[in-house]
Amino acid sequence: MESQIKKIHQQLMSKEITCTSLVQEKLDLLKQNTHNTVNSLLEETALALAKKVDAKIKNGEEIGLLEGVPFGIKDVYMLQGTYTTASSDLLKKYKAAYTATSIQKLLDAGAIPLVKENCDAFGHGSSSENTIFGAVKNAIDPTLVGGGSSGGSAVNVAKDFTVFSIGGDTGGSIRQPAGYNKVYGFKPTYGRISRYGLMAYASSTDCVGPIAKSIEDIRIVLNVMSGKDVRDQTSYASDVISEDLNSTIKTVGYYTNFIESDAISKEIKADFLSTLEKIKAKGIKVKALDFFNADVLVSTYYTLAMAETASNLSRLDGTNYGDRVEGANLKDTYAITRSEKFSEETKRRIVGGNQVLSQGFSDEIYLKAQNLRNQISARFSEDFETVDIVLSPVTPANPPKIGESLNDPLAMYLSDAYTVGFSLGELPTLTIPKGTNTGLQITADKKKDAEVLQFANFLNDIL
């Protein structure tokens, strides 16, 4: 698909459409939608910004490429003065006091925020059902889940309610819902985009990333949000990715552990192997690689993620943030507030994380997981000495029916089996909506985000 951002820019400059009419059209679609993608609309702000863009065009002024382009924001990002709920009961009345760096950069470029989008509360889930705003319904089949945790963001893009959306990816939270709803979703190299103003889930793997309908739109938004931020010491300065996306990839790797697993469906396996044959037919070498079993990746990821969750959410006790439920004393107030206001899934992760970090268990569990993470990262480095790109399915199976994940948390965790490893490795990974029913995942070595987009462009041409 062509770039929607460039198309809108041309339509605005040629006065084929007005920014106000465009924004109003998207707001109307968001209001009418029945997919549970909206936590709050930013109608007044969006229309005011749209009128300013129209005034500039009327006065003959040039506008930037993103100026006047409507977008959505997963409801875990701070946007000053707006409700920032994380789809949770605890923060349902919380208004942000400042704006996240990544969102501020988009505002500075003139993009217009329309909506805070539904998601799993605090990013805890793989289906966007763990939310007080109702389960997000899949864009293609509303009886299926939207995917998690950035489900509302992916569905809004798929249904053209927003031109692009900003999700958050910890263990696959952008890539999996992008695959379920057949759009593009990108998790950049860890640190390429500042995390300042993103509610922390697991700080060592949290990434800011775009969801869109074309690779070119992913590239444009990625370039705007990237860069060093003094308020996030893990961020780094990065090169601008060129519009020239010609691929020079010579060797593609794939993990046999993923493809020979009992968990993968016959349909996804057959489609993936067929894609490899098409790549070979273009003269690219395909190499099979051995890797850690998916259950090792999942257990390592959830051990570390739960530990970081318990630590990050310890500040949410009703004292400084969110709703407060009074008890007989301060200790009771903390306990009752957290017990009544956190979801079952969030409490499950906090309890698990506190167990991992508790005295007598931390050496046996937490440090062992850290050691495994180092081994996983080292194996990735070794593999990228022999291949340029790793290709994999996004998920081992099709999206579940709404309700199935809530009844089986373990199955929900295992649905992340093919995404969490790349998060632990801090690697750039893109979902493209082709190759299998839930898409393909393209991964490169750290800081080689451009190569991911280049190979995606190549795959678009042959699939």
Instruction: Identify the CA nearest to 119 among candidates 2, 214, 40, 3.
Output: 40
Catalytic residue check, 126: no
Number of CB atoms found within 10 A of residue 413's CB: 19
Cα 54 to Cα 434: distance, rounded to the nearest angstrom: 37
Output the DSSP codes for 377-434. HHHHHHHTTT-SEEEEES-SSPPPBTTHHHH-HHHHHHTTTTTHHHHHTT--EEEES-
Catalytic residue among 3, 88, 126, 149: 149
Catalytic residue among 3, 26, 74, 392: 74
Strands (DSSP E) along 239-368, which ranges? Answer: 251-255, 285-289
Which stretches within 161-293 are classed as H helix? 175-181, 215-225, 256-259, 266-281
Residue 169 near residue 207, CB atoms below 8 Å: yes
Instruction: Identify the CA nearest to 207 among candidates 452, 440, 434, 420.
Output: 420
Catalytic residue check, 392: no
Catalytic residue check, 173: yes
What are the Cα distances from residue 137, in Å, to 115, 144, 160, 170?
A: 17, 6, 15, 21
Sorted by sequence, the CB contacts under 8 Å of residue 272 that are 6+ apart come out as 254, 259, 392, 393, 435, 436, 440
Catalytic residue among 173, 214, 247, 423: 173
Phi, psi of 177 (to 5 degrees): -65, -30
Could you list the active site residues?
74, 149, 173
